[in-house]
Amino acid sequence: MDDDDDDVPQLSAHTLAALQEFYLEQQQREGTKTSQGFNQYSVGSIEENWQLSQFWYSDETASCLANEAIVAAGKGGRIACVSAPSVYQKLKERDDKDFSVVILEYDRRFSVYGEEFIFYDYNNPLNLPENPLPHSFDIVIADPPYLSEECLQKTAETIRYLTKGKILLCTGAVMEEQAAKLLGVKICKFIPKHSRNLANEFRCYTNYASGLD
């Protein structure tokens, strides 16, 4: 039987060109990942899920916050990242790992990080496994997913449970008064940036003398 090409759908030249452009961009992205030594700990290796109110920090901000956490934790220190995966990933990229770190996240995609991943739902702030123990982290970095008093209040319960004392909070500028009331933190001069611009002004807060001022 002869092939009949008349019944085969044909793409228009415009559609075909758009499709080729898409595949080319996809190949370029994959090539960039490979050339940069892209791995599971690179910021952006797990893409943002806006439905979960996820907005990753810029590479520079993630690096700055990771460096601050290492200094604040001290040699052999323990760091907890609560809803702050960008900082966790940047910490894991470090070669000089004289510290330990865990990530508390609602998004189970981060379970690829094995035993360092702890499932966390801010609606149940103290529903945590037996390990980690209370007050077992030298510093807690937290970025509550929503700009609401309820979210900050519940996340603050988790922070107070985990930390030995030091707190680095990242949230909107509008939460300054509430953050001071709940956690005794003060706004820092450093202004964090995200990989995508946010409509709300974002700031960092600490309850200790930090390198972010």
Count of residues making up the chain = 213
What is the pTM (predicted TM-score) of this model?
0.76
* Per-residue pLDDT, 113: 87
Structural domain contains residue 129: yes
Structural domain contains residue 64: yes
Give the domain extent around 82: 55-145+159-206
Give CA–CA dist 100/76, Å, rounded.
7
Do 143 and 172 touch, CB atoms closer than 8 A?
no
Identify the three-state secondary structure at position 90: helix
* Per-residue pLDDT, 35: 39
Q: Is 168 exposed, middle or buried (0-12, 13-18, 19+ CB in 10 A)?
A: buried
* Per-residue pLDDT, 122: 95
**Which residue ranges in the chain fall short of pLDDT 50?**
1-5, 8, 23, 26, 28-38, 42-45, 49-53
Structural domain contains residue 59: yes
CATH number, residue 119: 3.40.50.150
Do 45 and 107 touch, CB atoms closer than 8 A?
no
* Per-residue pLDDT, 13: 66
* Per-residue pLDDT, 81: 97
Structural domain contains residue 11: no
Domain count, the chain: 1
